[in-house]
Amino acid sequence: MKSYPVITAHGISSKDFNSPTLTSLKDIQRWLLVCKQNQIRFETLESVLNSKGARLACLTFDDALTSILKVVEYLPSTGTIFVATDYVGKTNRWKGQPSWVPEEKCLSWSQIKELSQAGWCIGAHSATHPDFSRCDVHNIRNEIEFSKKTVEDQVGQACRHFAYPYGKAPVSAQEIVEESGMIGYGTEPGWCDERQDLKFVPRLDIYDLVRSGMASNWAWDEPDGFDLQLMKYKRWIGAGIRNVRRLAS
């Protein structure tokens, strides 16, 4: 059975610098070139799972940060953007955001609508970006349903995609996402095939894909379980080192 990667990114940096939530424009351009040379096409997850045989990937951006506009012109096609609806037009300084994550401006509704009109798929990412593992079911339901409705009211299209904040997806959250008719995206590393449980879709982080030549190959060549574990571990270490540097400075 054929498997496909769903790739996740956050912000794009003009500087030659990568962190778990910030990818340098230069590195992402280099990775896109390798994807082009290997004839990888980007599609929405539904199109990816309905297509057979082609080299397809789904590209997603969490948090709807303005810095993604830097990369839009270089992408061969559109992707999916996940919006934390209470923070539209503000910054990514929500409660619970780790202090090592650089502060960035979030897209405004007019920018999001423009991207939607240009073919981008707009998904929800909760209203206030809470950690669902620390929320009660009532709160989780409100966050999911309110953000879905806000996206639909603002963009004028059905919202069928939801990314769990921090990738935290307790079973209750997965059930509400499924009930709401949406696909739920996590941050567990892995690939998708047609048997994928759509309540909790694994993704590959762009941070892992751009950092080494080997990881770049994972855009078309499925990594084994060991590689995926290693990736998760390295990302965790990367976040830890950033945190220690911040504390030391």
Interface region with Zn ion, contact rule CB under 5 A, candidates 42-50, 63-71, 186-194, 221-229: 63-71
d(CA 130, CA 47): 30
Candidates 63, 104, 205, 208: give the one binding Zn ion (CB under 5 A): 63
| Longest Cα separation, the chain | 51
Q: How far is the CB of 60 from Zn ion (least distance, A)?
A: 11
AA identity, residue 50: N
| Closer Cβ to Zn ion, 44 or 128, answer by number | 128
Q: How far is the CB of 131 from Zn ion (least distance, A)?
A: 10
| Closer Cβ to Zn ion, 62 or 205, answer by number | 62
Interface region with Zn ion, contact rule CB under 5 A, candidates 11-19, 38-46, 59-67, 113-121: 59-67
Q: Is 146 exposed, middle or buried (0-12, 13-18, 19+ CB in 10 A)?
A: middle
Return the closest-CA partner of residue 58 out of 246, 204, 231.
Answer: 204
| Terminal CA-CA length for the chain | 49
Backbone angles phi, psi at 81, to 5 degrees: -115, 130
Contacts of 28 by beta carbon, 8 Å cutoff, 6+ apart: 9, 12, 71, 74, 206, 210
Number of residues that bind Zn ion (CB under 5 A): 2
For Zn ion, the binding residues in 36-55 under the rule CB under 5 A are none
**Are 184 and 198 in contact, with CB atoms under 8 Å apart?**
yes
Candidates 13, 58, 61, 62: give the one binding Zn ion (CB under 5 A): 62
| Closer Cβ to Zn ion, 162 or 218, answer by number | 162
Interface region with Zn ion, contact rule CB under 5 A, candidates 56-64, 66-74, 153-161, 183-191: 56-64
| Buried b or exposed e, range 39-78, using 16+ CB within 10 angstroms | ebebbbbeebbeeeeeebbbbbbbbbbbbbebbeeeeeeb
Q: Is 143 in the site for Zn ion (CB under 5 A)?
A: no
Interface region with Zn ion, contact rule CB under 5 A, candidates 21-29, 60-68, 97-105, 172-180: 60-68
| Closer Cβ to Zn ion, 30 or 90, answer by number | 90
| Closer Cβ to Zn ion, 56 or 204, answer by number | 204
| Closer Cβ to Zn ion, 116 or 126, answer by number | 126
Torsion of CA 34, 38, 44, 46, to 10 degrees: -150
Residue ranges in contact with Zn ion by CB under 5 A = 62-63
